[in-house]
Amino acid sequence: MSLDPLPHQSPATTDGDFRVKDLSLADWGRSEIELAEREMPGLMALREIHGGAKPLAGARITGSLHMTLQTAVLIETLVELGAQVRWSSCNIFSTQDHAAAAIAMGKTGSPGQPRGVPVFAWKAETLDEYWELLDLSLRFSGGRGPNLIVDDGGDATLMIHLGLKAEADPAMLDQTAESEDETALLRRLKMIRAEDPKRWFRTVTQWYGVSEETTTGVHRLHKMAKEGSLLVPAINVNDSVTKSKFDNLYGCRESLLDGIKRATGVMVAGKIAVVCGFGDVGKGCAQSLRGMGARVIVTEIDPICALQAAMEGYQVAKVEDFLDQGDIFITATGCVDAISARQLSLMKSGAIVCNIGHFDHEIDIAGLKRIPGIRRVNVKPQVDRWVFPDGREIILLAEGRLVNLGCAQGHPSFVMSASFTNQVLAQLALWAERTKASPGVRVLPRRLDEEVARLHLDKLGVRLTTLDARQADYLGLDADGPFKSDSYRY
């Protein structure tokens, strides 16, 4: 596919560029952003606490994270704290176009004179468009790159690292790619190198850190740190308790079925649902399915998670055991090929298949496409029937990408407030320590985790009990916390 410049709307006043689907959606988006703000007490509190001091003044921040209404509140919080921000989505299907339009226009802008943040995203991007839009979000004025990155899945971090390597070894851009996604990335990096051979060298000299939102991106960071190739300090937001135990668990518990039902209208009660993976995401999915009356089967590789599932009353089996019985299959593993093309071909006709892990390779879509004689019949956006030569079929949602964002609106605002409050705290820490920190991966301290939780309690009418001096002394704690050690598993 050609990588000619993409059509775009009237330029934003900040850097003279943005790319959204339809700027006329901005008023709708602004109305919904205002509703989301009411459900995001953590971010609104940070604006009140830090907005006057502008602690991110001078920081250039690129975000590569789902361009949703909730992300809009995050973006405008970063701006309120003084940052210059550019944004793209981290998934080709996850953008909410009215949210993107509202951010591009800004609170005081108009279609003829936008005054917002440069945002580069729309729902249903091609892979080539995806990497071009990410590239644009990394381009600040004067040929500069970002100082900090908010990443979700690690694609912005990956693009910079691979781009820098390619400046020293251009031949790597001619390597055989393992996926269509990687092919598009290499194609984009070739274009960038032809245009500006030292672009990434300039970028990394002023790049001070990244905060990573999700499990997959954290795995990438730890791998690079182990190999000694990680260029900057990284904060693992995913493993903050108020992210992983809330967004991953409670968020998925609500948003999974929102996506499945909007896509298919299926009645879940009485169905057999197979959940691949019983981490925090899988736990939330299993709870929601059981709550709707499904019979839930769990698959696991980890004996501890498998034992947890069994003691929660779920049957733990292998995918193969239920291919001919399962009505709904959900992958939540963070691994490749959790469901193979062969397994897809053996499923009960009419089975619904979807993914709620970060990337699209948990279900072997590439292998599915290679099955001789298979037909893809589009039902509506992000809903496809894949018909096998013998007439049987499966219903695949969001092309194997995140079903809750591809087919619905993702997690509710309240739980995303907890995740994104951690993101802002991580950006503040990285910016404050920009001249001192070394490359490596760390989490935010427990006291900040507890503070994130504390900022959300009033919204729910929670009244905390307070330790008196004798009780605090007995437990060996400060009465104000932290209340658990870093090794405690919630």
- The catalytic residue positions are 66, 89, 94, 152, 213, 238, 243, 247-248, 252, 358, 411, 419, 423
Any bridge partners for residue 86, and if so which? 62
Q: How far is CA 40 from CA 25, 28, 37, 68, 248, in A?
A: 22, 19, 5, 14, 17
Distance separating alpha carbons of residues 424 and 87, to the nearest angstrom: 15
Any bridge partners for residue 295, and if so which? 272
Amino acid at 170: P
Residue 411: how many CB atoms within 10 A of its CB? Answer: 26
Beta strands in 48-95 (DSSP E): 60-64, 84-88
Distance separating alpha carbons of residues 132 and 128, to the nearest angstrom: 6
Any bridge partners for residue 355, and if so which? 331, 402
Residue-wise DSSP of 297-322: EEE-S-HHHHHHHHHTT-EE--GGGG
| Of 251, 274, 192, nearest in space to 70 by CA | 251
Distance separating alpha carbons of residues 10 and 113, to the nearest angstrom: 8
285 DSSP assignment? H
Backbone torsion region of residue 242, taken as left when φ is above 0, otherwise alpha when ψ lies between -120 and 50, otherwise beta: alpha
Residues 6+ apart with CB under 8 A from 58: 82
Q: Which two tokens stand for residue 49?
A: 């606490």
